[in-house]
Amino acid sequence: MIRSTLVLTAALAFAGAAAAQDPHAGHTMPAPSAAPQSGVTTVPADGAMTHGSPERFSANFPHPMILKTVTLTAEGQAPVVVNVPAAPASAAVSVALPRLAPGTYTAAWTAEGADGHKMSSSISFMVH
C-alpha cells in the first residue's frame, strides 16, 4: 500500500512539473470535433494553435464550391474582411490572409455551389 501511494505521488508530481513547463499552459481552445458533419475541413483547423501567422485560409469541400467571404475577428479588434478573389468552383479553395498578431481568432466563411446552394461556418484558432 505504501509503495502504491509513493508511485502515485511521484506520478502526480511529475505530471504537475511537466504542466508547469508547458508553454501552452493556461491557453484554452474548444476541442475540435472528430469529423465535421458537413464534410468540410479547414486550415487552420478549428481549435488549432499556430506558430506564427498563417499565410492562407484553406477549405476542402465534399464537392466544388466557390469561396465567397472570409471574415476574421479577434476580441478587442475590428473585424477584418479578407479579399476573396473570384475563382471557379473547386473542392479545394484557399485565400491569402493578412499578417495576424498573436491572439485568438474566429474565421467565418461563406461559400456557394454551382447550383446556388450556400454553406457557411466558422472556426477558431490561436496565433502564437
CATH number, domain at 60? 2.60.40.1220
Which pLDDT tens digits describe the chain residue by residue (128 residues)? 454 443 334 444 444 444 445 444 444 444 444 445 579 999 999 999 999 999 999 999 999 999 999 999 999 899 999 999 999 999 999 999 999 999 999 999 999 998 999 999 999 999 99
Domain extent, residue 120, equals: 33-127
Residue 18 counted as domain residue: no
Residue 50 counted as domain residue: yes
Output the CA–CA distances (angstroms, integers) from residue 9 to 13, 22, 124, in the order listed. Answer: 6, 20, 37
pTM, full prediction: 0.72
Residue 58 counted as domain residue: yes
**Total domains, the chain:** 1
Please measure the distance between the N-terminal and C-terminal CA atoms of the chain and give it in whole angstroms.
45
Q: Residue 7, SS3?
A: helix
